Structure formats: C-alpha cells, structure tokens
A = this chain, B = another copy of it.
Amino acid sequence: MNSVVAINQRARSSEQKALRRHAVLETAEVYFKEVGYEAFSMAQLAKKSGVAKGTLYLYFNTREELFLTLYEQSLVRWSQIFIGSLSDTMTSKTYAQSLYKTTQADGVFLPLLIRLEHVIEHNVAIPRLIESKRVFINQVEAVAAGTSTALRLSTAQATEVVKTMGVLLIGATQTDQSPALDDEDLPADVQYLITSFSSEPLFIKNAARIIEGIRAEDMSGV
C-alpha cells in the first residue's frame, strides 16, 4: 500500500488513469518538440509512450483533442510565467518584449496557438471545445489583470490590449519564415524579404503602436 499512486500494467483507479494520461502528454510534448505538428503521428506516439495505438484513444478522443490539451497546458504555463515577469513600471515596449520573449521560450505554445483554429475546427467535440474556451477566458482575464497594473490601464483597456496582442502575435509568428528556410542559400532579395518579416521587431514595434493607440483613445467613445 503505497501512498504514492503507482502505474500498474492496467490503470484502474481514476488516479492511475490521470497518471497515465499525464505520462502520455509528457511523451507527446517531447515528441512534438522533436518533429512538430505535421510529422506528429499517433502510431509513433504510441510506440514512444509504450502503449498500443488503441490505448491512446482511450485517453484522447482524437489527435486534435490531444493537441488541444497540450495547448491548454502550455497556455496556463505561459500565462503564469508572463504574469510573473510583469512589473508595475513598464513601458509599452518592455511589456511587448516580455510578452514576445516568454511566448518564444515555450517550445509548444506558439506552434499550437497558430494552428489552434484549424485543429479545433474539424475534430474536437463541442463540449470539449467549450471547456477549452473557458480555460482561455480565465487566462485572458488573469493576464489582463496583470496588464492593467503593469501598464496602468483600465480593465477594459487591458483586456483589449491582451486580446489584440494575441492577434498580433499569431500574425507575426505565422509570417515569420526564418525557421522554415534555415540555412538554405537564398538570393539576396528573397533573403531581405524574410528578414523584413522577422517576427520579433514586427511584433514589438506594432505592439507598442497598438498599446499607445489604446491608451490614447477616449474611453467614452468606445
């Protein structure tokens, strides 16, 4: 009788099942970091997890629900780190820099975020989707609260900042082409194009513009 819940060959108690589910998710996260979204196969994950493919589907209804779960975890993880990074004497720029840096630091958050709509759209049960949206709402509220303090904005303004930062981050990340083309020798004009779409300056400059825009706006007019 261990007080620690051990994982038997068969997980019977809900504790053991949660443990096994968690183990699969950990394996999946490592595997995802290795190969990315497109090359991620359920058969391979099963092999790496030491279970049969069918077993994966006892714990996740579809491949997409598994990704959605990974995304949720990374969202919560990130928002805690980001909120922790905020101080009450930040400029738009330092705020944007911290936001950018913390999202980049997580190996799965951004790749899943930019694929989120495609992932969810086609293969997640509605109740699971609703649950996920609620997690999202909570995280947005938490981040908005921190933002309100850090940037000295009203709650409504801070909420708008957070949502808009999300949109901008997705756009900037999506457009950033550097990782895909790595060390290929490209002609100078194309190389310049890619550089000019580098996500870091793109995000930070425009984040600052938007935050200043929101700050300057007369709140009575919105």
Chain A 189-204, CB-CB to B under 8 Å as 1, else 0, gives 1100110110000100
Nearest Cβ distance between residue A172 and chain B, in whole angstroms? Answer: 5
What chain B residues lie within 8 Å of A212 (beta carbons)? 213
B38–A175 CB distance below 8 A: no
| Dominant secondary structure at the A interface | helix
Number of identical monomers bound together in the oligomeric complex:
2
9-residue interface stretch from A18-26, A70-78, A116-124 = A116-124
A206 at the interface (CB under 8 A from B): yes
A114-B174, A184-B126, A210-B210 as given contacts; A167 in contact with B202, CB under 8 Å:
yes
Give A contacts to B, CB under 8 Å: 38, 114-115, 117-118, 120-122, 126, 129-130, 133-134, 136-137, 163-164, 166-172, 174-175, 177, 180-181, 184, 186-187, 189-190, 193-194, 196-197, 202, 206, 208-210, 212-214
